[in-house]
Structure 1
Amino acid sequence: MNRNLLTEEVQQFIKANREKSPTEIALKKSPFPSVSSAELAAQIDGWQRSVRKLPTWAFSDSIYYPDKLNLEQCSSEHTALIKQTLIDNGTRVIDLTGGFSVDSCYLAQEAAEVIHCELNAKLSEIVAYNAKILRVNNLHCVVTDGIKYLQESEDNAFDYIYVDPSRRVNQGKVFLLEDCEPNIVANQQLFFKKASVIISKLAPLLDISTALSSLSHVKYVYVVSLDNDCKELLFIQERDFIGEPIIKAIRLFHDQLQDFEFTYSEERGTISRFSLPQKYLYDPDVAISKAGAFKIVGKYFGLGKLHQHAHLYTADKFNPDFPGRIFEVMEVIPYGLFKKNNPYPQANVATRNFPDKVELIRKKHKIKDGGQVYLFFTSDLDNNYIAIACRRLR
């Protein structure tokens, strides 16, 4: 950590040039003898990456940004706010895999104390410095391995353990929960000796059912999406919990939040009602799809499903509470007729349970991207391929 970057004249330079290309700054000679042009470029790059993802950091003076990888891997403020709701006020938390501390800082707003464990001494120093700038005074940074720190702590030393295991081990990407570091499956017994609740942030590509078979006492699973992009899975384990976990799909969009909860036994026990396309078409958010609410979401909102495998829903009534996009159907065209005469030279194209991919459909039918029309290529309840032309309402 080069503290010369924090002098007033350097900070003024960074602020004056923060809209410029970091590459352009890196190629120019630095105007400061104690700060390299690469360091200036890294701070400007960090600010640009943080504007939308971490606005509190970006618009606080004198923030020190870490390496690009640390910013890419950290949570956004939107998703960190979700984690803040998972803990009780005045509790003690340990973050075993601290990183750039976005989650730790938000947990600290609710907790009495958060211990931030980070093996990278430089990153830990940056986090401790930024915490003072952000006035997060109850965040305590320790340069250590989180598992080792936990082993050396007294039993029941914490109320919550927060862990975000790395999916990159020895410079390679791993896909099994047991291969991540730390191995939260192997350390469950240790975790429950030191805290009553474990909150694990896991990769969105992870299979939820597989994780549930590996982790014990799971009370909740949160599937969190931001602007229809699944960002993370949160598994909440409680030491004494016995029962079926509740699955919560959390949709964050345009500074709004929608949630939908269910259990897998409820999903299995639901029978879908199928329907031909009606006045409105409902396309569920990725959080709903990832959570596996394929049948129960239709039943809950009184919708018919177009096809067992299409995961598109329809109704004659408009329901603004549906967690996803809503369209007004303009016309339904059998795909055989669409192939002969495409009336939409420009449209936003999507497929659901359809043999051709979007790019091939565009090429085949000479459809330019964009515009006000949305075309869904899918299957109906009689297994016929159809094209649904519609306009988006929400």
Structure 2
Amino acid sequence: MNKNILAPAVQEYINNHLNGDVFTIAMAKSPFPEVSSKELANQIAAKQKSVKKLPTWYQQELIYYPALLSIEQCSSESTAAYKSGLTIGESLIDLTGGFGVDSLFFARKLKSVTHCELYPELSEIASHNAQVLKQANMTFLALDGIAYLQENKITFDNIYVDPARRSSIGKVFMLKDCTPNVVEHLDLLMSKSKRIIIKTAPLLDLSAGLKELKNVSEIHIVSVKNECKELLWLVENEPSEQVKIVCTTLNEQEKSFIFFKGEEDTAAEIPEMDLQEYLYEPDTALLKGGAFNLIASRYGLQKLHSQTQLYTSSKVISDFPGRRFKINGLLAPADLKKEKDLRGNVIARNYRDKAEQLVKKYKIKPDQHRFLIFTQSKKQGYLVIDAHIEEHY
């Protein structure tokens, strides 16, 4: 950690160049002997990335930013705040502390938080920023969190861990292939805490994760603006009778859809119906949860097609986690080429072509409110729904 970066003149330079080109800055000669051009460029790029993702850090003076990759990989403030609501008791140890976003939000909720980070410089940066942000109930340890638990007779109310996928692992992965290996060390973690909170990438299959872990009480599927950001696995000391699955959307308004594993298996099959006044598109968090029939039965919706996760209703459902469209009418795919100056945002669901192909094929120009939804129904086959959006993600 180069503390010369915190000098007033350097900080002023960084703030004055937040709209500058970081590549040009990195290649130019640094105006400061103790701070390289590469360091200046990194501070500027990392701060630029933090505008919306980490507004608390961005707005605070004298924040020291780590390598840009750490900013890209860390939690956003909205997801960190959500995780803090999953804790119990008064204490927590973060075994994979990183830049410290999650740890700081845990510290806002709990009496004490211990932040473990293998890389000494990153640990020092997180510690410095916590002091600047006046979060005094945090302890920073530059060490292996698993080893720390093994070597000390200390316990915590919560253990938080964010295992990293190895770069050699493809899209399909298992928890045992990540670092730290929470499957291998699960008994240790359970002996050291009342609750374990495990964050994983959304690519992890829910059934596969449940097979690897034990005593899972809840799985939280968290999305922001229809992008599934993370899975959060809550592991308790005692087995749970049922696993609760919580699909949460963190947008302007937080919405959740809650059900228990196995509930979808016993849910009644939803009949396919003709298009009604409104069309509902579930958020990606709900799609990851897989409760396709439960969604319909809970909200009183009908399906267009058994293989299409689009729903229809004659009613406005304000708490639905997803998008709501008002139907203008139907278009036949064969008639689209006759349309002149065709405009609309294209969605393709269970259709023979992808959205990008359809835009080119029919020369469709973008529109702020109008949507052309290419899909199919059992009764009408392939069709195009002309609609305008009433409720965004």
Residue 84 of structure 1 and its aligned partner are, at CA, apart by 0.7
Residue matched to 1:324: 322
2:383 counterpart letter in structure 1: I
Residue matched to 2:361: 364
Relative to 1, partners in 2 of residues 1:175 and 1:383: Cα closer, same or farther, differing over 3 Å? farther
Counterparts of 1:117 and 1:303, CA distance in 2: 47
Residue matched to 1:136: 135
1:306 counterpart letter in structure 2: L
Residue 171 of structure 1 and its aligned partner are, at CA, apart by 9.2
Give the conservation status (yes or no) of the 8 Å contact 2:197–2:233.
yes
Counterparts of 1:390 and 1:340, CA distance in 2: 18
Residue matched to 2:348: 351
Residue matched to 1:188: 186
Residue matched to 2:290: 292
* Aligned pairs for 1:94-173 within 5 A: 94-154=93-153, 157-169=155-167
Give the conservation status (yes or no) of the 8 Å contact 1:131–1:137.
yes
> SS of the residue aligned with 2:308?
coil
Give the conservation status (yes or no) of the 8 Å contact 1:162–1:198.
yes
Counterparts of 1:233 and 1:10, CA distance in 2: 39
Counterparts of 2:19 and 2:337, CA distance in 1: 50
Counterparts of 2:337 and 2:23, CA distance in 1: 50
- CA deviation map 1:367-393 (0-9, x unaligned): 223343201111113371111110001
Residue 340 of structure 1 and its aligned partner are, at CA, apart by 5.7
Counterparts of 2:272 and 2:291, CA distance in 1: 16
Give the conservation status (yes or no) of the 8 Å contact 1:124–1:141.
yes
Residue 252 of structure 1 and its aligned partner are, at CA, apart by 1.1
Query: Which stretches of structure 1, 4 residues or longer, exceed 6 Å deviation after superposition?
Result: 170-174
- CA deviation map 1:101-123 (0-9, x unaligned): 10011001111111111110110
In structure 1, the gaps of 5 or more residues are none
Question: How high is the TM-score relative to the length of structure 1?
Answer: 0.95
Counterparts of 2:322 and 2:228, CA distance in 1: 13
1:231 pairs with one of 225, 229, 232: 229
2:248 counterpart letter in structure 1: I
- CA deviation map 1:237-296 (0-9, x unaligned): 111132121100110113x21111011322111121321110000011111111112111
Relative to 1, partners in 2 of residues 1:250 and 1:264: Cα closer, same or farther, differing over 3 Å? same
- CA deviation map 1:117-159 (0-9, x unaligned): 111011011011111001111111111111101111226x111
Residue 29 of structure 1 and its aligned partner are, at CA, apart by 1.9
Residue matched to 1:58: 58
Residue matched to 1:9: 9
Give the conservation status (yes or no) of the 8 Å contact 2:174–2:208.
no
Q: Percent identity?
A: 43
Counterparts of 2:141 and 2:182, CA distance in 1: 20
Counterparts of 2:168 and 2:299, CA distance in 1: 47
Residue matched to 1:82: 82
Relative to 1, partners in 2 of residues 1:8 and 1:172: Cα closer, same or farther, differing over 3 Å? farther
- CA deviation map 1:138-193 (0-9, x unaligned): 111111111101111226x1111100000125798872221001111111111111
* Aligned pairs for 1:235-254 within 5 A: 235-254=233-252
Residue correspondences, number: 390
Residue matched to 1:387: 384
* Aligned pairs for 1:294-313 within 5 A: 294-313=292-311
Counterparts of 2:308 and 2:341, CA distance in 1: 22
Give the conservation status (yes or no) of the 8 Å contact 2:326–2:388.
yes
Give the conservation status (yes or no) of the 8 Å contact 1:167–1:181.
yes
* Aligned pairs for 1:275-290 within 5 A: 275-290=273-288
Counterparts of 1:171 and 1:8, CA distance in 2: 43
Residue 317 of structure 1 and its aligned partner are, at CA, apart by 1.0
Question: How high is the TM-score relative to the length of structure 2?
Answer: 0.95
Give the conservation status (yes or no) of the 8 Å contact 1:307–1:383.
no
Counterparts of 2:318 and 2:171, CA distance in 1: 40
2:60 counterpart letter in structure 1: S
Counterparts of 1:343 and 1:381, CA distance in 2: 29
